[in-house]
Every structure is written in structure tokens, then in C-alpha cells.
């Protein structure tokens, strides 16, 4: 049953999203949002022209604090719409690379003047991104690995350690795009009071052990939809879910069960293939949210 009690949306929301699309966003992307929070989230997405389904904008809720967060992909998406857009050049610098940076005497800005690689390249020691735009000087952002050292011990440390190149690359690229195209959406936190009209989060009547390692992933779905899929396809989805759980830092069976109960309560003991795909999509969005949060965190420090 839908919990949506919003009777009137802003003109921006109505222009950007059809009612049935809003309902899908409400149920799958912002299921923990109350009416006030969802109205603000939908308005932000519509006003900035961002697509929640492309992981460009996220809704995150911790207790009574809700956060609207913009992903690195949002900056690249909006930069593409700007006149004179050219793809940025983002690279990792390894310890065995030949890498030199010099000050441009005319612009008084640092520029990469040499980057040659050989193998073995060694460990990553830095990264840079050059944001190009026709009619404008290139904007270069260069970061030493020590400048993002806190990422490897923070909330998203597992992803930064396992996927350093991707995480570091998105982080430095976002900075360059911000400067070149004047983009700054600004994450927003919504502080809420514990009022009676706040819609409580889903609370399962009875806690069941439905961890992906066990009932959800190891047992085969028995409904008609799932049986029409090949074993290889089903195994692939289960494997992807397991991998995604590890990447977001959910490792134990209890943690997995709690996550499913909170974020995908429709996934029962005998899930359909669409249920499994839905869980996979939720985990992918969670991973993107963590990456975006990691990329933005040092902007606040």
C-alpha cells in the first residue's frame, strides 16, 4: 500500500515527472522519506534536471536526519549540457610513472607537462583531472594520495581500498568540473523533529533470516517468473548481489538480513527474479551513494 499523501506537487516536479514515475521513485529510491522529505527531494531533482534512476541524485536517511546528495555523475551530466563541453581527462599517477607539473607563467596555474607510464607502474600516489571547455582555459586539479588519506579510514574505506582508481578518479574529476563549469548543487541535510506525523520506517512483524548467502541467494526461486530464467542468469544475479554486499561493507549474515528487512522488505524466502533484480538495483544505488558521499566529504572539512 502506498504511503504517499502528497496532494499537490510543485510545477517543476509536475513538468519533470509523470505521477506513475514519481510513485516508482518514492517506493524504490526514497522509500524511507516522509511526504515533506520526498517533496523536497523530487523538487531538487526536477529543478536541477537530474535523473534519480541514473544515480545522479540520492536520498539518504539516518534516524531523523535526511540528506539529499548529488553524485559525481550529476556534475558530469550537467557539464555535458553546458556550451563548449569537452570530455575531461582524468588519470591516476603511479609511483613508477614519469610525472611533472609546472606553473604556467601566463595563467599562474599548475599544469601537467609530462606524464609517461611504464610497467610495472607501482602503487597509486596521486591523481589529476583536466576539465576542458571550448573558449575557456583548461582547469587542472591535482591531488596527492595523502590529501585523500582520510578516505581510506572513513565510512567508505572498503570501497576506497578495493576500487582506489575509480573512487579517486571520480573525486578529482568532480572537483575539476565544479571549477570549470561553475557547478555546485550543494548537498542538503533536513533535520526533523520526532513528530507524530512523521511516517515511521518499515518494521517487520517477525524477523526472518533471509540473507543472500542463505535463503535468498542459495535457494532457487520457485515461482513461474523465476523458473523461466536460465540457471546461469539466476546464478549471475545472486553472485552480483553477494559482491555488492561486500562492496558496501555488509559482510555478516545478520547485517545482510537487517539490510534486506529495512531496504527490500518484499524480498521473502522465495523471491521472484524481479525481486532479486530489485535488490540488486538497491545495492547498486547504495554503492553509488557511498561513492558520492566519499567524494564530497572532504569538501566539508
Q: Report whether pLDDT(212) > 50.
A: no
Mean pLDDT value of segment 2-13: 78
Q: Report whether pLDDT(154) > 90.
A: no
Contacts of 239 (CB under 8 A, 6+ apart): none
Cell of 296: 564530497
Per-domain boundaries in the chain: 84-184, 212-288
Q: What is the mean pLDDT of the chain?
A: 78
Q: Report whether pLDDT(99) > 90.
A: yes
Contact 269, 219 (CB under 8 A): yes
Contact 93, 139 (CB under 8 A): no
pLDDT of residue 189: 54
Mean pLDDT value of segment 195-213: 37
Q: What digits encode the pLDDT tens for the residues 26-53?
A: 999 999 899 989 999 999 999 888 999 9
Q: Report whether pLDDT(77) > 60.
A: yes
Predicted TM-score (pTM) of the model is 0.55
Mean pLDDT value of segment 198-224: 40
pLDDT of residue 155: 65
Contact 55, 288 (CB under 8 A): yes
- Name the band, by pLDDT with cuts 50, 70 and 90, for residue 138: very high
Q: Report whether pLDDT(222) > 60.
A: no
Mean pLDDT value of segment 87-99: 96
- Name the band, by pLDDT with cuts 50, 70 and 90, for residue 246: confident
Residue 72: which of 129, 15, 140, 149 has the closest Cα?
A: 129
Q: What digits encode the pLDDT tens for the residues 10-22?
A: 999 999 999 999 9
Q: Report the relative pairing of strands 89-94 and 124-131 from DSSP bridges.
A: antiparallel
Contact 227, 173 (CB under 8 A): no
Residue 129: which of 78, 73, 168 has the closest Cα?
A: 168
Residue 32: which of 56, 67, 81, 7 has the closest Cα?
A: 67
Amino acid at each position: 500500500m502506498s504511503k504517499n499523501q502528497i496532494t499537490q506537487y510543485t510545477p517543476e516536479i509536475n513538468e519533470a515527472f509523470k505521477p506513475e514515475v514519481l510513485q516508482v521513485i518514492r517506493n524504490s529510491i526514497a522509500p524511507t522519506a516522509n511526504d515533506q522529505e520526498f517533496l523536497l527531494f523530487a523538487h531538487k531533482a526536477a529543478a536541477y534536471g537530474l535523473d534519480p534512476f541514473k544515480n545522479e541524485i540520492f536520498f539518504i536517511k539516518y534516524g531523523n536526519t535526511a540528506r539529499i546528495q548529488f553524485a559525481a555523475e550529476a556534475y558530469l551530466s550537467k557539464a555535458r549540457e553546458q556550451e563548449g563541453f569537452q570530455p575531461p581527462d582524468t588519470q591516476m599517477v603511479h609511483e613508477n610513472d614519469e610525472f611533472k607539473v609546472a606553473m604556467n607563467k601566463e595563467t599562474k596555474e599548475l599544469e601537467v607537462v609530462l606524464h609517461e607510464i611504464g610497467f610495472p607502474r607501482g602503487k597509486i600516489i596521486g591523481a589529476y583531472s583536466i576539465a576542458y571547455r571550448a573558449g575557456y582555459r583548461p582547469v587542472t586539479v591535482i591531488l596527492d594520495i595523502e590529501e585523500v588519506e582520510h578516505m581510506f579510514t572513513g565510512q567508505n574505506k572498503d570501497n576506497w581500498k578495493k576500487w582506489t582508481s575509480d573512487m579517486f578518479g571520480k573525486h578529482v574529476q568532480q572537483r575539476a568540473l565544479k571549477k570549470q563549469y561553475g557547478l555546485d548543487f550543494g548537498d542538503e541535510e533536513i533535520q526533523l523533529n520526532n513528530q507524530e506525523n512523521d511516517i515511521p520506517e518499515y518494521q517487520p512483524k517477525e524477523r526472518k533470516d533471509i540473507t543472500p548467502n542463505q535463503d535468498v541467494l542459495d535457494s532457487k526461486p520457485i515461482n513461474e517468473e523465476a523458473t523461466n530464467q536460465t540457471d546461469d542468469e539466476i546464478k549471475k544475479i545472486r553472485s552480483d548481489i553477494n559482491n555488492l554486499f561486500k562492496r558496501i561493507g555488509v559482510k555478516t549474515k545478520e547485517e545482510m538480513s537487517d539490510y534486506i528487512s529495512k531496504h527490500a522488505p518484499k524480498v521473502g524466502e522465495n523471491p521472484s527474479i524481479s525481486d532479486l533484480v530489485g535488490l540488486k538495483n538497491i545495492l547498486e544505488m547504495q554503492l553509488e551513494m557511498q561513492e558520492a558521499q566519499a567524494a564530497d566529504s572532504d569538501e566539508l572539512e
